[in-house]
Amino acid sequence: MTFVVGENCIKCKHTDCVEVCPVDCFYEGPNFLVIHPDECIDCALCEPECPVDAIFSEDELPEDQEVFIELNSELAEVWPNITEKKDAPADAEEWDGVEGKLQHLER
């Protein structure tokens, strides 16, 4: 079991989540963060920290976001670690809840 960053993080990327993770298992891409599934200890601390509710326990991930399990696993291997909060994109609020954001994922 692991926690998973889902679609609503794309282009929102508030990074509040990284500040609370006790094992520093977040990895950062251009407009999205992922959790390394082998490093996450399932503490659940990050889930309530995300202002746009983008983090899920793997077993509570909405069915239409199951592709994000594989994306977190794959991208955590290639993106750099992030442990400190940074400013969200200026237009983050406009992207909160927008559907179909997967097409905007930058690698």
List of residues contacting ligand F3S (CB under 6 A): 5, 9, 12-17, 33, 49-50, 52, 54-55
- Answer for which of 10, 33, 46, 50 binds ligand SF4 (CB under 6 A) is 46
Nearest alpha carbon to residue 20 among 58, 55, 61: 55
| Cα gap 101→92, rounded to integer Å | 12
Assess 12 for contact with ligand SF4 (CB under 6 A): no
Q: Confirm or reject binding of residue 41 to ligand SF4 (CB under 6 A).
A: yes
What is the Cα gyration radius of the chain? 12
Report how far residue 31's alpha carbon sits from residue 41's, in angstroms, rounded to the nearest whole number: 24
CB of 14 to ligand SF4, least distance (A): 14
Neighbour count for residue 86 (Cβ, 10 Å): 10
Q: Answer yes or no whether residue 98 interacts with ligand SF4 by CB under 6 A.
A: no
Classify burial at 102, counting beta carbons within 10 Å of its beta carbon; exposed 0-12, middle 13-18, buried 19 or more: middle
66 belongs to the binding site for ligand SF4 (CB under 6 A):
no
CB of 97 to ligand F3S, least distance (A): 12
Which residues sit at the interface with ligand SF4, rule CB under 6 A? 3, 20-21, 23, 25, 35, 40-46
